[in-house]
Chain A
Amino acid sequence: MKKIFLSAAIVGASLFSFAQDITVDEILDNYFENTGGRKAWSKLEGHKMSAELDQQGMIIPIEVYEMKDDRAITKITFQGMELAQGAFDGEVLWSTNFMNMRPEKAAAEATENKKRNLGSYPNPFLNYKDLGYEVELMGTEDIDGVECYKVKITMNPTMVDGEETENTEFYYFDAENFVPIRVEAEITSGQMMGQMAITELSDYQEVDGLYFPFSVTMRSEEGPGQTIEFDSIELNPEVSDDLFKFPGGEESEETEEAEEKQE
């Protein structure tokens, strides 16, 4: 794999010299080629990422599962308790409430938005045409001292506080090796509405032939943000349906089951 990657980097380097002529699909082709190949990415059924978050000196283990069929969960283990964030079982988007430790469904709009953009695994570029997404090369921009291609992706619109809203993200692909090092998305609701949420990607490492960013920093335009450094990434993890499933349906049943689950 390493050899393939390096030779791709040479191709990348030579392409860079006539950067102006490159098309957005060539950028994406290079990205997939350099990180393992479209075929390998297409075969991927899911992955599990493990990290230990350092929150002001408190070490908090987390596990992030993302599956091809869009099921997902971030599992946080803290002082013997397990909490779920951003869990999606295909139908219900849910999280654990930190106050009473019970599972709660996300607002209908958030769930709807999740469902409007299914099929985006492992990232929205792999099958963007089939998904009806649009991509556009905006030009080049310097990010962290790196010349990058700025690519805009427009996905299916989402509902924001009752209004249908355009759903775009900006990816910055390193012009030398074509991996994205930054993603920006506009914050569409709340106090910071209108500002950009920034995700910085680095520490790309190979996992069974595919390259993943092992370091992800999420921040606002102003703040230093929070970095997650993944210790390991496991491809095609074995998972049970229960892992993602919203624990319970009716209110009373739901509560009891959730409590059981935690104990």
Chain B
Amino acid sequence: MSDIIKEEELVKELKEKFGAVIENASITRKTRVWIDVNSDKALEVMRFLKTKGYYHLSTITGFDEGEKLGAIYHITDHKTLVNIKLRTSKTNPVLKSVLEVYPVATSYERELEDLFGIKIEGLPEGRNYPLPEGFPKGVHPLRKEVKLEELNKMLDEKCAKEE
């Protein structure tokens, strides 16, 4: 008997309910479900998962794939971890805030804004996190085009100017 029955049932249920919104569903091992979701419908999928007991948003991982930016929402009921991947274009990166479903997302979403430059629609204004105040505007260090040496050089020059 397969030991991933619960995971398979969840994927089946999501596909039946949301159809083409769910793409590339895969189960990499017991307790690990990965799905790509159309970013316009992501909130509906998350709201549905929350009613199923997936109340815990562990974190949000931003990523840079070259042409696209994106984020993975790691959501769990403490037994199964569902990883929801959303993608957005690099030229105009925008994702909707998930605060109405997961009120703890504030700092994770600020990380996306600071480190990847993804604009989060619906995230209230606030101070930088985790980058310090006065960090060069428009530089998002975890993007692939930002090279470590150049970043260090730029920060050194900035500090020298301020001295």
The answer to whether A binds B is: no
Interface set of A (CB-CB < 8 Å, partner B): none
Interface set of B (CB-CB < 8 Å, partner A): none
